[in-house]
Amino acid sequence: MSAAPANVEFKPGSYKTDLKPVWCPGCGDFGVLNALYRAMAKLQIEPWNTVILSGIGCSSRLPGYVTTYGFNGVHGRALTLATGVKVARPELTVIAVGGDGDGLAIGGNHFFHSCRRNLDVTYILMDNEIYGLTKGQVAPTTPTGDKTKSTYWGNPEPCVDPCELAISNGATWVGRGFAGDMKTLAELTAAALSHHGFSFLNVMSPCVTFRGDGQFKELKEKLQYVPEDHDPTKRASAIAYTREKDVLTTGVLYKVETPSMVDRLDSIKERAAAEGPTPSIQEILTTFFPSF
Amino acid sequence: MPRRDLTIAMVGSGGDGVVTMGDMVAQAGAAEGLHVMKVEAYGPQIRGGESSCTVRVSADPIFAQGDEVQVLVVFNWADFARFRGEIICSEDAVVLYEATDETPHEEIDLGPVQEVRWVPVPFIQLAKESAGTTLAKNIVTLGLLTELFSLPKEPIERAITQKFSVKKAAVLEANLKGFAAGVEHAAQIEEEASGKRLQYAAGEPMLLMSGNEASAVGALHAGCRFFAGYPITPSSEILHFLSEWMPKMGGYLVQTEDELSAIGAVIGGSFAGVKSMTATSGPGLALMTEMLGLASLAEIPVVIIDVQRGGPSTGLPTKSEQSDLWQALWGSHGDAPRVVLAPSDVEDCFHATVAAFNIAEESQMPVIVLSDQFIAQRSETLSMIDLDHEVVGRQVPSAGDLRGYKRYKETKSGVSPMSWPGMKGGEYQTNGLEHTEDGSPTSMYLVHEKMNAKRYRKLRVVRDKYSTFKRYGAENADLGVICWGSSKGPVKEAVLRANGRGDRVAAFVPQLLYPFPYYEFQEFLKSVHEVIVVELSYSAQFYKYLRTFLDLPEGHTYVYKRSGGKNLTVGEVEDKINKVLEMSALRREVLV
């Protein structure tokens, strides 16, 4: 991302659009949105050089509330759209956002591959452990046994930890935040945006409507921070913070530097360019004459 | 009597090298300025299955593969049996077969043919004796064919030298010995080739390309600088070709994890302002259909090449069919305008792809190019492709437009100036939700109606500017053949032959399928008396599509349709033309 000219200063409020969020009062996604405004202001991100993409779900409405270029796509495919934007225009700042159903159920395949490729995108997942927009069905992060609209007898399936998935699949920056802890969340968002490579920020974002008031309170009680001596470059120590039950550890769990997807594609382009100047179409066609 | 046009089919198992053999004949033909068409067919096996290669070489222009082969080479009759009904011998054809294969002749189905010249050849033995390995069987055969049928000998030797010079000197030497042994063996069976020798005057070298390659080069010519795709037969050569050339052109290519991701990435790339494309086949297009709707609603230019194969489901993945038509035209949730084009030969794959980009950019809409396996994977000779195309980009907002910018501003044509990231003042949100002029989501009926009208209005511009078609034959005709896509080749050849006999027959082949080129069709219908619609779709998708827009002449319209899996032949089109002309004549007699 590029620094703003000296005469322009973006404040968190500068990124706010006129559109009023459709979210329920008390929804955790307000916290994520505000943290994003703050992080962008901290980094002085130019809205016209930034694209926020999403799939479908409550949280996927977020691009409409930020003054950047925005794309509210189809269910599960935010990262596919983000791949195209970033690869076609590597100089842009690209952010993908969405919920746990969008990113881990229908879009799970793209999540895995974006991690593996170390795609230069920040992916913020608003994890409320439920499907909100379709009004309360079980999600991949819903704890086992929980009763939802689609699990009358309780959720029969084990749930996943998104951070564990990201680390094991090759994401190079993995953090966890809580929508009710604005200060830390804004810092984490800024750190994710500053990372070179795929940065994955999982935010516990309570759903007051379908998970009840208790979810917020419970998360707040479990909240703790990664200790200062945590070494985020060690995969094993990062993994240790996933699948927690009694606590919710927030902070930067994992961070390493490896070549990103754009780095690798650019190096291919350099190798191709080293073979000679850009060919004309006429020259390409000529290669189809018999070569002997 | 020598021939100016010769079709040779070669059949064997994977590893027998029949495709290499066909390649060398085709390359040598192109080098000599001959007209060549080469078609390959395989079983579904990855390795070791049956494979066949048919090469037609001609001193005059050709538009179809040869219906019947004058020369057949069979290394193994069991492999040949798997192509039953697909390789048909001409009367008096020369059948060269492995001498040690003792399958009785009466068990072999060469098609409805009275007599052929059975010629046993000890291919295996010749290869062992001359080259020291049975691997050289195909090169021995090449020597034999070259000598017997007067194929361009010197270019074929150069092709062999080039192919094997990358290997050890001994390998090249062994193959050259094999070639010489084949040439020598020809003397023993020389009289069997009488009347089948090729006669031609060498001309300027020709390009030898496949439709997939032509599509890929067309995309680069049109300015495509981002490609995302997922491998699927028979489209993968587009991905392969661009994986080499896209970076050389300064663009990017990604092989995605599935077709959903491929179309998503392409929509993302185009949203970001870069001309973007994907290529797939029927099953892949099915997976892309949800996001085809997104591109249509969000008004994002994208180009999708669908190289059709036999379907549904996995179907006949290595063979051609024209049965994705309805999927391309109507495959949609909601009312989702898109444009559908069909190239009709290898060169047209280039032109249709350029047109697809122009249309996509001008109308901000998804454009599907319906190619098929027959044109996509065959090799064909071309003289240099005309590159004088207009290449257009999308309409971008003016400085005035950027003040209070409305991405989906109501306009007369329906096309609104489109900004892309990096344009200050052009920021907007697009989405898969219905939206107002500034892009804000809405579920209001009035807005939905207005926006549907805006999106569909854009099709008029496309129809008025891009109703490209080809018309062949008599100006006023007793009979007009209507077909699309790869059926054009055999239809054109059949129509030109009918004209040569003095029959007044014409053909009409639209490149633009949707929006429907109504006026062009009407003009054609006015100029003909009887109509035959020809297509390779069991359920006659094209005929039914025509009926949604046209009143085809009642009592004077005939349909010739069948499943794909075997390419359309000139002979079957000729047969239908003759039948209809005959019926038409009978009817006239009654009327008088």
d(CA A36, CA A119): 20
> What does the alpha-carbon distance between residue B297 and residue B435 come to, in Å, rounded to a whole number?
9
- Pick B421's closest partner by Cβ from A48, A83, A110: A48
Q: Considering only alpha carbons, which residue of chain A is nearest residue B293? A: A74
Best to test chain B binding among A288, A289, A291 (most B CBs inside 10 Å): A288
Q: Does B569 touch chain A (CB under 8 A)?
A: no
Rounded distance between C-alpha atoms, residue A29 and residue A22, angstroms: 10
| DSSP state letter for B316 | B
Answer whether A148's CB lies under 8 Å from A210's CB: yes
Contacts of A290 in chain B (CB under 8 A): 27-28, 30-31, 155, 159, 205, 208
Residue A188 structural domain = 12-259
B254 interfacial to chain A (CB closer than 8 Å): yes
B248, B288, B333, B418: best to mutate for the A interface, most A CBs within 10 A = B248
* B73, B8 Cβ separation under 8 angstroms: yes
Least Cα separation, residue B386 to chain A (angstroms): 10
| Nearest CA distance, A134 vs chain B (angstrom) | 16
In a domain, A265, yes or no: no
Residues of chain B numbered 336-395 and touching chain A (CB < 8 Å): 384-385, 387
Cross-strand partners of B51: B12, B42
CB B393 within 8 A of CB B363: no
Chain CA centroid to CA A287, Å: 44
Task: With beta carbons less than 8 A apart as the criterion, state whether B235 and B260 touch.
Answer: no
Amino acid at B481: V
Residue A7: pLDDT above 60? no
Question: Alpha helix locations (H) across B91-152?
Answer: 123-131, 137-149
Q: Which phi and psi (to 5°) does residue B536 adopt?
A: -105, 70
Domain at B5-205, CATH homologous superfamily: Pyruvate-ferredoxin oxidoreductase, PFOR, domain III (3.40.920.10)
Identity of the residue in A67, A92, A292 whose CB atom sits nearest the CB atom of B421: A92
Contacts 24+ apart (CB under 8 A), B540-546: B541/B322, B541/B323, B541/B325, B541/B326, B542/B322, B542/B325, B542/B483, B542/B484, B545/B325, B545/B326, B545/B329, B545/B513, B546/B482, B546/B521
Q: What is the ipTM of this complex?
A: 0.96
Structural domain total, chain A: 1
Q: Burial code of B544-574, b = ≥16 C-beta within 10 A, e = fewer?
A: ebbeeebebeeebbbbbbeebbbbbbbbbbb
Exposed / middle / buried, residue B201 (Cβ in 10 Å: 0-12, 13-18, 19+): exposed
pLDDT given for residue B167 in this prediction: 82
C-beta of residue B296 within 8 angstroms of C-beta of residue B459: no
Q: Does any domain span residue A276?
A: no
Single-letter amino acid, residue B429: Q
Residues of A in contact with B220 (CB under 8 A): 281, 284
Neighbour count for residue A34 (Cβ, 10 Å): 17
- In single-letter form, the type of residue at position B113 comes to V
Please state which CATH number belongs to domain B469-591.
Answer: 3.40.50.920
Contact assignment for B270 to A84 by CB distance below 8 Å: yes
Contact A290 B28 (CB under 8 A): yes
Are the beta carbons of A87 and B258 separated by less than 8 Å?
Answer: no
Residues of A in contact with B427 (CB under 8 A): 47-48, 67-70
Q: Tell me which residue has tokens 């596919």.
A: A80
CB proximity B14 to A under 8 Å: no
Give A56's contacts in chain B (Cβ within 8 Å).
Answer: 432
Residue spans per domain, chain B = 5-205, 208-382, 395-466, 469-591
Identify the pLDDT of residue B591: 67
pLDDT of residue B464: 96
Which residues in chain A are closer than 8 Å to B425, comparing Cβ atoms?
48
Domains B5-205 and B208-382 share a fold: no
Q: Which of B425, B455, B286 is nearest to B368 (CA)?
A: B286
pLDDT at A6: 54
Indicate whether A202 belongs to any domain: yes
- Residue A87 domain-assigned (yes or no): yes
Q: What is the pLDDT of residue A1?
A: 44
What are φ and ψ of residue A57, in 5° steps? 145, 175
Task: Please report where in the chains the tokens 């094997």 appear, as a residue.
Answer: B164
Question: Which of A16, A51, A71 to mutate: most B Cβ within 10 Å?
Answer: A71
Find, in chain B, the residue whose alpha carbon is nearest to that of A267.
Answer: B247
Q: How far apart are CA B383 and CA A157, in angstroms?
A: 63
Contact B22, B51 (CB under 8 A): no
Interface A-B, measured as beta-carbon pairs within 8 A, has a size of 205
Residues in chain A within 8 Å Cβ distance of B389? none
- Three-state SS string across chain A, please? CCCCCCCCCCCHHHHECCCCCCCCCCCCHHHHHHHHHHHHHHHCCCHHHEEEEECCCCHHHHHHHECCEEEECCCCCHHHHHHHHHHHCCCCEEEEEEEHHHHHHHCHHHHHHHHHHCCCCEEEEEECCCECCCCCECCCCCCCCCCECCECCCCCCCCCCHHHHHHHHCCCEEEEEECCCHHHHHHHHHHHHHCCCCEEEEEECCCCCCCHHHHHHHHHHHEEECCCCCCCCCHHHHHCCCCCCCCEEEEEEEECCCCCHHHHHHHHHHHHHHCCCCCCHHHHHHCCCCCC
The nearest alpha carbon in chain A to B423 belongs to A48
Closest CA of chain B from A88, distance in Å: 5
Residues from chain B contacting residue A105 (CB–CB below 8 Å): none
Please write the tens of the pLDDT for every residue from B22-78: 999 999 999 999 999 999 888 766 667 889 999 999 999 999 998 999 999 999 999
A179-220 pLDDT per residue, tens:
999 999 999 999 999 999 999 999 999 999 999 989 999 999
Question: Using omega within 30 degrees of 0 as the cis cutoff, is the peptide bond preceding A21 cis?
Answer: no
What is the C-alpha to C-alpha distance for residues B474 and B581, in angstroms, rounded to an integer?
14
How confident is the model at residue B42, as a pLDDT? 81
Domain B208-382: state its class. alpha beta
A158 pLDDT above the threshold of 60? yes
Contacts of A278 in chain B (CB under 8 A): 248-250
In tens, the pLDDT along A270-279 reads: 999 999 999 9
Cis amide bond preceding A259, omega within 30: no
Amino acid letter for position B250: G
Residue A106 belongs to domain with CATH number = 3.40.50.970
Interchain CB distance below 8 Å, B421 and A51: yes
Give dist(CA B263, CA B294) in Å, integer: 10
Contact B441 A68 (CB under 8 A): no
Nearest-by-Cβ selection for A290 from B31, B264, B384: B31
Partner-chain contact B426 A48, CB within 8 Å: yes
- Give the residue from A120, A271, A284 with the most B CB atoms within 10 Å of its CB, the best one to mutate: A284
Per-residue pLDDT band for A283 (boundaries 50, 70, 90) equals very high
CA gap A193, B235 in Å, rounded: 38
Which residues does chain B have within 8 Å of residue A112's beta carbon, measured at their own beta carbons? 257
pLDDT of residue B592: 65
A53 contacts on B by Cβ (under 8 Å): 268
Tell me how far apart the alpha carbons of residues A53 and B352 are, in angstroms, rounded to a whole number.
Answer: 32
All residue ranges of chain B with pLDDT < 50 are none
